C-alpha cells in the first residue's frame, strides 16, 4: 500500500541530524523524505558550506532515489530542524516536476494537509516557463544586438541563432 504522510513525516523528524562537519560545512538542518512510485522511501539532507546552500535536501533525496533505480516521486515531506514542514526550495521545482506524475507534497503536519505539486506552482509548465524563456530570449537578443557579446564567441552565436529560430 505504501507509506502515509504521517509515516513519512515521522521518518523525517526522527532522521534530523544537524551536524557541523567542519568550521565551514554543516548538514542536516533540512530533511527531505520521498516516496517513489514503487513505494520505496529515500531520505536526503541539505549541505551548507561557507554559509551557502550547496546541496538541498530535495536534491539529496532525489539523488538517492535515482541512484537506486527509481524514476518517479509519489510523495514528498520536507522538515526543518524544528520539525516544521516546509515547501520545496525554488531551485528544485524543475527537477521535482520532471520526476513526478501527480506528486503530493505535505504542507502541514498538524492538521495533516498536503497538496499536489501543481497547486504549489500553478501553471508552472505553462505560461511561467514560456514567459521565462521569452524574457531570457529578449534579454539575450538585446545584449547581442548592442554588442555586449563578441561575435567570435561561438557559444554566443549559437545561442542567439537558436533563440531567433526556435523561440522568437
CATH number at residue 25: 3.40.140.10
pLDDT, one tens digit for every residue, the chain (168 residues): 578 999 999 999 998 777 777 888 887 789 999 999 999 999 999 888 877 768 889 999 999 999 999 999 999 999 998 889 998 887 788 888 888 888 999 999 999 999 998 788 755 555 555 566 666 666 666 666 666 655 666 666 676 676 666 655
Domain range for 101 is 5-120
**112 plus 151 within the same structural domain:** no
Q: pLDDT value at position 102?
A: 85
Contacts of residue 5, Cβ cutoff 8 Å, sequence gap at least 6: 75, 77, 104, 106, 112, 114
Backbone angles phi, psi at 113, to 5 degrees: -145, 135
104 & 137 share domain: no
Do residues 88 and 129 share a domain?
no
In a shared domain, residues 16 and 47: yes
Classify residue 8 as left (phi > 0), alpha (psi -120 to 50) or beta.
Answer: alpha
Q: Return the H-helix or E-strand segment holding 53.
A: strand 52-55
107, 52: one domain: yes
Number of domain units in the chain: 2
Instruction: Give the model's pLDDT for residue 153.
Output: 65
pLDDT on residue 35: 96
Asked if residue 136 and residue 58 are part of one domain, the reply reads no
The reply to whether the predicted model has a pTM over 0.75 is no
Q: Do 116 and 128 fall within a single domain?
A: no
Domain boundary among 120, 136, 156: 120
Residue 142 burial (CB < 10 Å; 0-12/13-18/19+)?
A: exposed
- 46 and 129 both lie in a single domain: no
In this structure, the answer to whether residues 102 and 161 fall within a common structural domain is: no
Shared domain for 87 and 139, answered yes or no, is no
Tell me what pLDDT residue 60 has.
93
Residues 107 and 29 both lie in one domain? yes
Amino acid at each position: 500500500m505504501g507509506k502515509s504522510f504521517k509515516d513519512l513525516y515521522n521518518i523525517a523528524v526522527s532522521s534530523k541530524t544537524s551536524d557541523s562537519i567542519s568550521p565551514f560545512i554543516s548538514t542536516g538542518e533540512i530533511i527531505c523524505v520521498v516516496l517513489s512510485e514503487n513505494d520505496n522511501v529515500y531520505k536526503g539532507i541539505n549541505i551548507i558550506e561557507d554559509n551557502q546552500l550547496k546541496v538541498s535536501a530535495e536534491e539529496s533525496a532525489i539523488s538517492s532515489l535515482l541512484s537506486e533505480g527509481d524514476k518517479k516521486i509519489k510523495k514528498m515531506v520536507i522538515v526543518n530542524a524544528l520539525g516544521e514542514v516546509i515547501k520545496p526550495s525554488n531551485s528544485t521545482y524543475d527537477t521535482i516536476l520532471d520526476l513526478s506524475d501527480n506528486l503530493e507534497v505535505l504542507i502541514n503536519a498538524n492538521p495533516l494537509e498536503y497538496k499536489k505539486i501543481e497547486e504549489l506552482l500553478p501553471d508552472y509548465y505553462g505560461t511561467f516557463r514560456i514567459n521565462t524563456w521569452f524574457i531570457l530570449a529578449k534579454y539575450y537578443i538585446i545584449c547581442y544586438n548592442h554588442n555586449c557579446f563578441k561575435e567570435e564567441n561561438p557559444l554566443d552565436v549559437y545561442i542567439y541563432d537558436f533563440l531567433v529560430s526556435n523561440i522568437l
